[in-house]
Amino acid sequence: MMASSYNAKEEDGHHSVSAASGPSAGPSAKSKKPDNTAFKQQRLPAWQPILTAGTVLPAFFIIGLIFIPIGIGLFVTSNNIREFEVDYTGVDASSPCFTCSQTYSWNSSIPCKCAVSFSLEQPFESNVFMYYGLSNFYQNHRRYVKSRDDSQLNGDKASLRNPSKECEPYRSHDNKPIAPCGAIANSLFNDTLELFYIDPNGTRTQIPLVKKGIAWWTDKHVKFRNPGGNNFNLTVVFQGTTKPVNWRKYVYELDTDPENNGFVNEDFIVWMRTAALPTFRKLYRIIQKKSNMTPTLPRGNYTLDVTYNYPVRSFEGRKRMILSTISWMGGKNPFLGIAYITVGSVCFFLGVVLLIIHHKYGNRNNSADIPN
């Protein structure tokens, strides 16, 4: 904008006054002088690291020396994890679940069953974790992720009667609020998987599957709560609500164990934690180690009995059952080990190369003259 076109007469006047009273008026002079503090003079004591080839070189070696052992450790650990995966979608006509996958209907009252047999080449020693895996299932679709009501799941009575709008179109059915509402809950994975060990002599032994401890502790105990607090009579609590459209049972019929029923059913909780990627696995059951003597799952033949309820063919999806042991790093994942070894080696290699370069040309650099 336009400049202030003004000659500061009073400033000049003021100036001369202050100059005249300069010797006597000490304080006024002091106030205008900038403080001589380290902060204001930008002279705070400072650490001034000089990153040169010399200081950086050791870092490469150190990274190399740390990463390679970690990588080897990870790689070995990952390799020691036993993992077995079986696809039971029933795409091929030859596969046992082909019929079930074809003749699927939500309304059929008689569940379709099929049995997939497989054999384990190696025994699974410690606790075995049973996962179901889905492919091409977009649990991370935004519309899907949104479609839940966390306050309803947390046992809020008001939300139970009046679920969040986000739950549409699974908010209410037949003028009754749906509990639990939303698309996530509606599409709860409802295949039942049972595992049988086939003895060499031909007898089928059902392997006991533990259904507790598959969800995050905090989810089960804090985030998900049944309405009505300690009232175990969930039928009463959920009175006036209806089941999700695709469910066969009410939410209070999920399990007989009151600790695992209603919203705090662990299968339900696991399903409600939406997966990151369209191909994912979720923990289904745990096979506890029985004793130190026998492996949890000895090598041999097994049958997986599937109650085939969950349709995936409509969106080109796949269903898998995964048996896996677990280490301190979780499930089998060779990526981390390989990545660590690679990065460590590269660092080490770079370190060597740089050392050579530094040695060869470093001296010349050091003799550089005063810059001009």
* Window 321-350: residues binding another protein (CB under 8 A): 324, 326-333, 335-336, 339-340, 343, 346-347, 350
Q: Does 174 bind another protein (CB under 8 A)?
A: no
For another protein, which is the closer residue by CB, 32 or 249?
32
Other CB atoms closer than 10 Å to residue 167's CB: what's the count? Answer: 25
The residue length of the chain stands at 372
Q: By rule CB under 8 A, what string of x and - marks binding of each residue 7-46 to another protein?
A: xxxxxxx----xx--x------x--xxxxx---xxxxxxx
Q: Does 368 bind another protein (CB under 8 A)?
A: yes
How does DSSP assign 290-338, residue by residue? --SSS-SB-SEEEEEEEEE----GGGT-EEEEEEEE-BTTBS--HHHHH
Residue 8 neighbours by CB distance under 10 Å: 10
Long-range contacts (CB closer than 8 Å, 24 or more residues apart) made by 214-221? 214/266, 214/267, 214/270, 214/283, 214/284, 214/285, 214/286, 215/266, 215/269, 215/270, 215/273, 215/283, 216/269, 216/273, 219/269, 219/272, 219/273, 220/264, 220/266, 220/269
137-151 burial, b if ≥16 CB within 10 A, otherwise e?
Answer: bbbeeeebeebbbee
In whole angstroms, give the CA distance from residue 332 to residue 325: 8
Do 249 and 169 meet the contact criterion of CB atoms below 8 Å apart?
A: no
Binding mask 223-262 toward another protein (x if CB under 8 A, else -) reads x---------------------------------------
Stretch that binds another protein, among 93-101, 230-238, 251-259, 311-319 (CB under 8 A): 311-319
Q: Is 364 helix (H, G, I), strand (E, B) or coil?
A: helix
Q: Stretches 93-101, 199-207, 272-280, 291-299: which one binds another protein (CB under 8 A)?
A: 272-280
What letter represents residue 152's amino acid?
A: Q
- Give the residue with the Cβ less far from another protein, 235 or 342: 342
User: In whole angstroms, how close is the CB of 134 to another protein at the nearest point?
Assistant: 10
Measured from the CB atom, is 96 or 286 closer to another protein? Answer: 286
- Of 112-120, 138-146, 227-235, 299-307, which part binds another protein (CB under 8 A)? 138-146
> Among 92-100, 107-115, 126-134, 235-243, which window interacts with another protein (CB under 8 A)?
126-134
- Within 61-120, which residues bind another protein (CB under 8 A)? 63, 67, 70, 74
Residues 188 to 217 in contact with another protein, rule: CB under 8 A? 213-216
Nearer to another protein, 57 or 115 (CB): 57
- In terms of Cα–Cα distance, which of 267, 174, 280, 148 is closest to 219? 267
131 is a contact residue toward another protein (CB under 8 A): yes
CB of 240 to another protein, least distance (A): 23
Q: Which DSSP string do the residues of 253-273 spell out, in sequence order?
A: GS-SSGGGSGGG-HHHHHHHS
Query: One-letter amino acid identity for 9?
Result: K
Q: How far is the CB of 82 from another protein (least distance, A)?
A: 13
**Nearer Cβ to another protein (34/229):** 34
Among 91, 115, 145, 207, binds another protein (CB under 8 A): 145
